[in-house]
Amino acid sequence: MNNSSPWRNHLANFLQSNWVHLFSISLLIVDLIITILELSSSLVSSCHQQSSNNKVEKLSLHWVGISILSLLSVKSMALLVGLGSSFFRHFGVVESVYELSDESIEAQIEGIVFQFEALKEENMRLLETIQEKSKAIEKLKEDLDKSKH
């Protein structure tokens, strides 16, 4: 988002904020509910006579749905203005996330290999210590047996 105008950066950052995303998702859910209500009312109204209140309710639901979709369209157009041509290049973000995750996985693997090497060296040292202690125990047993005879 390195645009020449700071207002474009500010606009793009605002439109990509979590709050705006949550608001957009909420609007989409409300629009989905309104669409379901419109469809169900049209199914019910085909079986029964429509009253004037029902027509007004159906028309208001229709315009609320159109308003929500218009608002979301304006948001998308504003994001297009804020991001400029980079609006169409978001796939690079996903690609770089995978590259970063690959790099972090490789770093973790290297860290684990290093830990295994350190454990291997520690095990070798402990085995040598055990052998030395076993030799000392054998020598002490021999000395004990000699002193008993």
Work out the burial of residue 57: count CB atoms within 10 Å of its CB; fewer than 13 is exposed, 13-18 middle, 19 or more buried: middle
Tokens coding 90 = 């978001």
Q: What is the pLDDT of residue 45?
A: 66
Q: What is the pLDDT of residue 121?
A: 92
Tokens coding 147 = 């002193």
Q: What is the pLDDT of residue 3?
A: 46
CB atoms within 10 A of CB 46: 8
Tokens coding 115 = 């830990």
Tokens coding 60 = 């208001």
User: Tens digit of pLDDT per residue, the chain (149 long)?
Assistant: 554 588 888 888 888 888 998 999 999 999 889 888 888 777 666 666 666 666 777 788 888 888 998 999 999 888 888 887 777 765 555 555 566 676 777 778 888 888 888 889 999 999 999 999 999 999 999 998 888 87
